């Protein structure tokens, strides 16, 4: 939904830039280009409404009866329109929400979406209008969980600030991993969907966002090269713990949490090792350049003599 709002806002800007153009005949070509690209479907819808509005405004020559209903949709009514577009996004969100209840039984693919659409009283045909249907539900779940994590963390700031860094991170990662418990039997297939090259870009983005959120909540405000190593390390830890959890049958996932703490300690150590390695490399390169310099000096002095 947040994303939908963003889309609507971008569209408003776009819309504002083309609204003054009186040449309705030329607009279609320009919009045609963008409408063939997939994510711009809403753009095209917007164009149609704009077009209808323009037609009804200047349509003395032939608009007449067919467009009178659209007269209130003048381009200036952008807010009403964007609310309408959010509604479209909402219908899909409703279906996705309802479909989550069927994931345990039906998996992440279209049958869960079809069942979800039935639950909210929409025709399951709407599933056909989803972009990348197979990944839609997994991506929705990831987004939803990341969002929930944010909310939970907001209430726990004080509690977290009293912990050591490693413990702090461990408890946040655990909070997030616990959200996978309801769908853990189907989580392996979700991971394989995310690994599909078509979906990998979104999956990576969502994971990067998650790792970033966790570091942020853990109180990290760094902006140097360390930023990357920290995120890469935590990403790896999160992923391994996530995989470990798939085959963990201990009550309450006890083993997973032990494993997670161990890996986070490793990561903290690895980061130290990494820093040491950097120092070592610097020392070595310095030494090497010194000896090279002296070597060339020697060469030049010997050639002179």
Partner 1 sequence: MTTMAATRRMGRQSWRIFSMQARRCSVAHDHTSSSDPKLTNFGYREVPENEKSKLVGNVFTNVARSYDLMNDLMSMGLHRLWKDRLVSKLHPFPGMQHLDVAGGTGDVAFRVLHAIHKAEHRAVGKLGGKSEAKNETRVHVCDINPNMLEVGKQRAHKLGLENVEDLVWMEGDAEALSLEDNSMDGYTIAFGIRNVTHIDRALKEAHRVLRRGGRFLCLELSHVSIPGFQQVYDAYSFAVIPAMGELVSGDRASYQYLVESIRKFPSQEKFAAMIADAGFQEVQYENLVGGVVAIHSGLKL
* Contacting positions for partner 1 (CB under 8 A): 28, 31-32, 35-36, 41-42, 44-45, 48-49, 51-52, 62-67, 70, 87-88, 91, 95, 105-107, 110-111, 114, 117, 121-129, 133
* Minimum separation from the CB atom of position 7 to partner 1 (A): 13
* Minimum separation from the CB atom of position 163 to partner 1 (A): 44
Token couple for 20: 């003054």
Which of residues 28 and 75 has its CB atom nearest to partner 1 in the complex?
28
* Minimum separation from the CB atom of position 24 to partner 1 (A): 10
* Minimum separation from the CB atom of position 156 to partner 1 (A): 39
Which of residues 63 and 75 has its CB atom nearest to partner 1 in the complex?
63
* Minimum separation from the CB atom of position 59 to partner 1 (A): 10
Residue with structure tokens 């709002």? 5
In the chain the first and final C-alpha atoms are separated, in Å, by 79
Which of residues 12 and 88 has its CB atom nearest to partner 1 in the complex?
88
Cβ contact 18:46 at 8 Å: no
Which of residues 123 and 269 has its CB atom nearest to partner 1 in the complex?
123
Which of residues 130 and 259 has its CB atom nearest to partner 1 in the complex?
130
In total, the chain counts a number of residues equal to 305
* Minimum separation from the CB atom of position 204 to partner 1 (A): 27
Which of residues 57 and 229 has its CB atom nearest to partner 1 in the complex?
57
Which of residues 44 and 259 has its CB atom nearest to partner 1 in the complex?
44
Which of residues 31 and 257 has its CB atom nearest to partner 1 in the complex?
31
Cβ contact 193:138 at 8 Å: yes
Report the alpha-carbon distance of residue 150 to residue 176 in Å, rounded: 10
* Minimum separation from the CB atom of position 201 to partner 1 (A): 22
* Minimum separation from the CB atom of position 275 to partner 1 (A): 50
């Amino acid at each position: 939904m947040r994303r939908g709002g963003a889309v609507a806002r971008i569209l408003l800007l776009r819309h504002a830039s083309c609204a003054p153009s009186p040449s309705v005949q030329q607009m279609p070509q320009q919009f045609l280009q963008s409408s063939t690209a997939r994510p711009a479907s809403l753009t095209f819808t917007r164009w149609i409404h704009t077009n209808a509005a323009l037609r009804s405004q200047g349509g003395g020559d032939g608009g007449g009866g067919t467009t009178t209903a659209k007269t209130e949709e003048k381009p200036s009514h952008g807010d009403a329109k964007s609310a309408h577009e959010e509604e479209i996004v909402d219908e899909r969100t409703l279906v996705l929400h309802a479909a989550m209840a069927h994931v345990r039984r039906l998996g992440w693919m279209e049958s869960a979406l079809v069942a979800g659409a039935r639950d909210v009283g929409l025709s399951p045909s709407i599933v056909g209008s989803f972009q990348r249907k197979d990944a839609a539900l997994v991506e929705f779940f990831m987004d939803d969980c990341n969002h929930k994590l944010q909310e939970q963390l907001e209430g726990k700031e004080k509690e977290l600030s009293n912990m050591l860094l490693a413990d702090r991170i461990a408890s946040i990662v655990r909070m997030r991993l616990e959200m996978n418990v309801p769908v853990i039997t189907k989580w392996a297939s979700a991971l394989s969907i995310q690994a599909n090259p078509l979906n990998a870009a979104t999956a990576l983005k969502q994971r990067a966002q998650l790792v970033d959120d966790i570091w942020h909540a853990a109180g990290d405000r760094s902006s140097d090269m360390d930023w990357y190593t920290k995120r890469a390390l935590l990403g790896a830890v999160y992923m391994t713990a996530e995989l470990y959890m798939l085959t963990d049958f201990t009550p309450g996932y006890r083993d997973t949490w032990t494993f997670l703490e161990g890996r986070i300690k490793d990561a903290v150590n690895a980061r130290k090792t990494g820093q040491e390695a950097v120092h070592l490399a610097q020392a070595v390169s310095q030494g090497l350049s010194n000896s090279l310099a002296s070597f060339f000096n020697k060469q030049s002095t010997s050639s002179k003599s």
